[in-house]
A and B are shown apart, each in its own frame.
Chain A
């Protein structure tokens, strides 16, 4: 792999603006999915919109055209419950028509409440927490064994870090020097029962993952420029797996959903949905054309 260039990376301001507008569109799309399905994980999907947006629309070499090939980047959605954001991103990438999303969680639909390979663009079934990192380690190892340049990205929730399998996988990621592996943590500090630190204290996460052999970077996970910048610097250190501790706000983008534990899987009412869309439209206006 090519090592990261020295010094700050210049990011095109126009591209930042395009991606910021895209994030608003994706937030509206995932809210529509949840509102239509009358089910879903609202807070955790909104928190990682910007991460998936930057990954799929700037960083990763994945498209409907190359999806059947092995020699491309790969993505595992370890926090599988936040599937709505993934559906929104994949529809936007052209993996399937937006209309397909009307069937999410409906009887007989392929679009279930967690990622499944029955849906185009998804390469591993997830939903039980603590599984994605091991699978990503296997994929990264296969790429290394075959001398391919694929990079494997996986997004974990911060609540799932209490699963022991995460730490088994972490040990193997550094043992095999998988610098083609990029683990991202959606650090929104909330899980279904409350603050992650109150449910089970796992801090200091940076020190823990560093001790497990990762090259760790902190980033504002809801800032497009910061995300673009951190991904540009991959791999952070040759021979070490990469870990991005992305500080996010659960429910980001809708004022009354932000940082509220009850919005883990609360479905917006008609009124809440209308207000949420209005807020997002106003945010889009504020960005200008």
Chain B
């Protein structure tokens, strides 16, 4: 890929529901549990085709997660589906105790994550979920970047032996990966060519990866070499890939649709500091302030999560690094 535009695919949300529909055909133990969210989860076709494999709980997130934990020991592959904002806040204690601590391999699916709900406002944003779940033992955390990663993450989740949280949005996403790319939970995917010398290491997750990739293309035109990692798994955290990217770069920029506190950037920064790798670093995400009103893409642009904004951030960082 070498252009400033990428072919647009489907919404990750659509890929999620389509994948689950296909998988349920072969596996009658797949069970979807929803909180009046079959419409917003694009699960109406699933419910129509497999009415015996969908459980409605009503608007009751705590009960959604508790019931899901109770379904799991019977061998059900339970996908508990609800908007990420409610699921990971209202039902956090159930995720912590009934799923993670009790080691019930429930698949917690946070739909319309981050600022996907845009102008609906902060009640509907999930900018805390990486932070909250990273502080809870025994739950993996995945934010797929595009349709391929979403398809692979959902497939992998079916047989995942541990509790797992997967979150994504509902905007159509560009395709980022070439055919034959391998996917494994806990293994970052490098979108740029392997090298042992980069100017900038971009480490991004979820729906910010495509914008980060475009930034790297714009910088490449200026002769600036970038490494772009799609770090779809916040946990397990791919230390090896992050280390490789940072060691071989002058500066590090992390990008996420999450609060700048406690998410991917914090994780990368603390890991690199403790590994003794000191690089100028910027955490790009949603700052600790009342979030501006706007659509997802307007909010992204406002906070510099755009090809232009990310290029500027990287250039400023490089500039500072060169004079220091």
Say whether B24 faces chain A, with CB atoms less than 8 Å apart.
Answer: no
Asked if A136 and B70 make an inter-chain contact with CB atoms under 8 angstroms apart, the answer reads yes
Binds B, one of A94-102, A168-176, A250-258: A168-176
Tell me which of A123, A142, A164, A171 has the highest count of chain B C-beta atoms within 10 A of its own C-beta: A142
Contact check, A134 vs B97: say whether CB atoms are below 8 A apart.
Answer: no
Q: A117-B103, A137-B66, A165-B62 are in contact. Are A143 and B74 (CB under 8 A)?
A: yes
A124 in contact (CB, < 8 A): yes
B residues apposed to A, CB below 8 Å: 31, 52, 55, 57-58, 60, 62-63, 65-76, 93-94, 97-98, 101-103
Q: Is A141 an interface residue (CB 8 A)?
A: yes
- State the interface size on chain A (CB cutoff 8 A): 30
A135 within 8 A of B: yes
The contact of A135 among B52, B60, B67, by CB within 8 Å, is: B67
User: A117 with B74: in contact, given A138-B69, A168-B60, A172-B67 (CB under 8 Å)?
Assistant: no
Q: With A143-B74, A168-B62, A172-B67 as given contacts, are A135 and B57 in contact (CB-CB < 8 Å)? A: no
Chain A residues close to B by CB (< 8 Å): 70, 117, 123-128, 130-131, 133-143, 145-146, 164-165, 168-169, 171-172, 175
Q: Please, how many angstroms separate the alpha-carbon atoms of A13 and B71 in the complex?
A: 39
CA of A125 to CA of B73 in the docked complex: distance in angstroms? 13
B64 to chain A, nearest CB (A): 8
4 new A-B pairs (CB below 8 Å) besides A125-B98, A146-B74? A124-B98, A137-B70, A145-B52, A164-B62
On chain A, the residues within 8 Å of B55 by CB distance are 141
CB distance from A117 to the nearest CB of B (A): 6
Inter-chain contact B102/A137, CB cutoff 8 Å: no
Given contacts A124-B102, A169-B66, contact A134 B94 (CB under 8 A): yes
List the A side residues contacting B74 at CB < 8 Å.
70, 139, 142-143, 145-146
> Could you tell me the distance between the alpha carbons of A135 and B33 in the complex, rounded to whole angstroms?
13
* Across-interface contacts of A138 in B (CB, < 8 A): 66-72
Complex A-B, nearest 5 residue pairs according to Cβ-Cβ distance, in ascending order: A138-B70, A134-B66, A142-B74, A168-B63, A138-B67
Kindly list chain B residues whose C-beta atoms are within 8 Å of the C-beta of A117: 102-103
A and B contact pairs by CB, cutoff 8 A, 23 listed: A70-B75, A124-B70, A124-B98, A125-B101, A130-B62, A131-B94, A134-B62, A134-B65, A134-B67, A135-B70, A135-B98, A138-B66, A138-B68, A138-B70, A138-B71, A139-B70, A142-B71, A145-B52, A168-B57, A168-B62, A169-B67, A171-B58, A172-B60
Chain B: minimal CB distance from A251 (Å): 28
Instruction: Give the complex CA separation of A99 and B75 in angstroms.
Output: 34
A119 to chain B, nearest CB (A): 13
Interface of B is mostly: helix
Residues on A with beta carbons closer than 8 Å to the beta carbon of B73: 70, 123, 139, 142
Contacting residue for B60 out of A128, A136, A171, CB 8 A = A171
Q: Which residues of A contact B67 (CB under 8 A)?
A: 134-135, 137-138, 141, 169, 172
Given known contacts A70-B75, A172-B57, A165 and B97 CB-to-CB distance under 8 angstroms: no
Q: Known contacts being A136-B70, A138-B70, A141-B71, is A165 close to B103, with CB within 8 Å?
A: no
Residues of chain A contacted by B66 (CB below 8 angstroms): 131, 133-135, 137-138, 165, 169
> Given the complex, which residues of A lie within 8 Å of B101, measured CB to CB?
125
Bound Cα distance A131, B62 (Å)? 8
Quote the shortest CB–CB distance from A4 to chain B (angstroms).
Answer: 25
Minimum distance in angstroms from B32 CB to a CB of chain A: 13
B78 CB to closest chain A CB, in angstroms? 8
CA distance A165 to B66 in the complex (A): 9
Q: Which residues of B contact A142 (CB under 8 A)?
A: 70-71, 73-74, 76
Listed residue (A126, A136, A168, A171) with the most chain B CB atoms within 10 angstroms of its CB: A168
Residue of A whose beta carbon sits closest to that of B63: A168
Report A171 CB to chain B, min CB distance, Å. 7
Which chain A residues lie closer than 8 Å to B69 at the CB level?
124, 134-135, 138
CB distance from B12 to the nearest CB of A (A): 27
Given the complex of chains A and B, what is the CA–CA distance between A142 and B57 in angstroms? Answer: 14
